[in-house]
Chains A and B, each alone.
Chain A
Amino acid sequence: METVYKLNVPNRLENLALIGEFLEKSMKAHDIDDCRIYEISTAVDEAAANVILYGFPDGRQEDVEIACTVSESSITVSIKDTGGPYDPTSAPAPDLSDDIENRHVGGLGVHFMKELMDEIGYEYKDNTETLTMVKYL
């Protein structure tokens, strides 16, 4: 059996905290451990930030839909919006070197998503992009 929670928020950075609170509340209702909650929330925060920061260069104000599905075996979070298209699954690997002078931070958000989640899928259809991330329990 699975339970689906949904949240629609305007595409503004100030709503990232709201998304985090929504995810925490949804997962705590199913006794998901704090570590997993943190990992999933981090991955979603990075993905949502990318959507809000880069998905609407024309400045459109649109809603972003977050859906959190909790089942006995996994937690699936999808982010759906009319921005983009940007497929994070095809982003290049980040620079993880310890060379302070030349180190850049680009790509870390996608790196976190890939490292903290077990599956990532992206679809762009009918002017809507959907990023789906799964964490196995």
Chain B
Amino acid sequence: MDVTTQNLESGACIVRISGRIDASNAGQLDARFNEVISSGRTRLAADMSGVVYISSGGLRVLLAAIKKVKPSGGDLRLFGLDPNVMKILQLSGFTKIFSTHATEAEAAAGL
């Protein structure tokens, strides 16, 4: 799994994730989100276009992140989801919690 971040002029931050997110590396993803949020960036969009698999451990990390940013008016939006990954989000009810978008432009609009 690889994670990179890109700060936008608007103050939002794109978190680009690729590869497989499972119980072996979910902690690393959690640490990266915590770094970003601790730096003051709470308007986030996660680029999931490179994510080939996400387990319940990975979903736990996403939930923890949105719980941290929402109270201060922030958000965590998801974009570029593979259909299989989207199915897992739907199965877990997470599409009711996270807004999902096809493109970065859509996800970042108004963020």
Chain A interface (Cβ < 8 Å from any Cβ of B): 13-14, 16-17, 20, 34-35, 38, 41-42, 45-46, 49, 52-53, 94, 96-98, 100-101, 103, 105, 108-109, 111-112, 115-116
Contact = CB atoms under 8 A, between A and B. Distances in A.
Contacts of A35: 84
B106 to A, nearest CB: 21
B67 A101 contact: yes
For chain B, what secondary structure do more than half of its interface residues adopt (helix, strand, loop), or is it mixed?
Answer: helix
Interface string B50-85: 000101110110010011001000000000000010
Contacts of A13: 22-24
List the 10 closest A-B pairs by CB distance, nearest first: A98-B96, A13-B24, A96-B93, A108-B56, A49-B23, A105-B60, A109-B56, A38-B84, A16-B22, A13-B23
A39 B84 CA distance: 8
B20 interface: yes
B92 interface: yes
Q: Pick the most buried of B56, B84, B88, B96: most chain A CB atoms within 10 A of its CB.
A: B56
Interface string B73-109: 0000000000010001001110011000000000000
Contacts of A109: 55-56
Contacts of B56: 46, 105, 108-109, 112
